[in-house]
Amino acid sequence: MERVTKLASERPVVIFSKSTCCMCHTIKTLFCDFGVNPAVHELDEMPGGREIEQELSRGGCPTLPAVFIGGEIVGGANEVMSLHLSRSLIPMLKHAGALWV
């Protein structure tokens, strides 16, 4: 989990994704539409991506995308959308320094 923790702390928003995953694309688009510039790690395109995916699964995020905000795991698409619909996502992004508006 050390590698995941290191990668997850490189920016205010970090997304572990697969380039062929439609829900991953949806979540990346949501953040970009907000004006957030997340670090995106396409696990199917990077060396060691399979191992990172296994680490994420063992660490409590069994599906992709795996979203980290402020270095903390938020969860997958369902959790992100729930935060968005409850109007909690934008304040969380502001608190992490991902949004200034």
DSSP state at residue 66 = E
pLDDT tens digits for the chain (101 residues)? 788 889 999 999 999 999 999 999 999 999 999 999 999 999 999 999 999 999 999 988 889 999 999 999 999 999 999 999 999 999 999 999 999 87
The strands making up 13-17's β-sheet, listed across from edge to edge, are 39-42, 13-17, 66-69, 72-75
Going from the N-terminus, what domains does the chain have, and what CATH number goes with each? 1-96 (3.40.30.10)
The pLDDT value recorded for residue 64 is 95
Strands 39-42 and 13-17: parallel
The pLDDT value recorded for residue 2 is 84
The pLDDT value recorded for residue 100 is 81
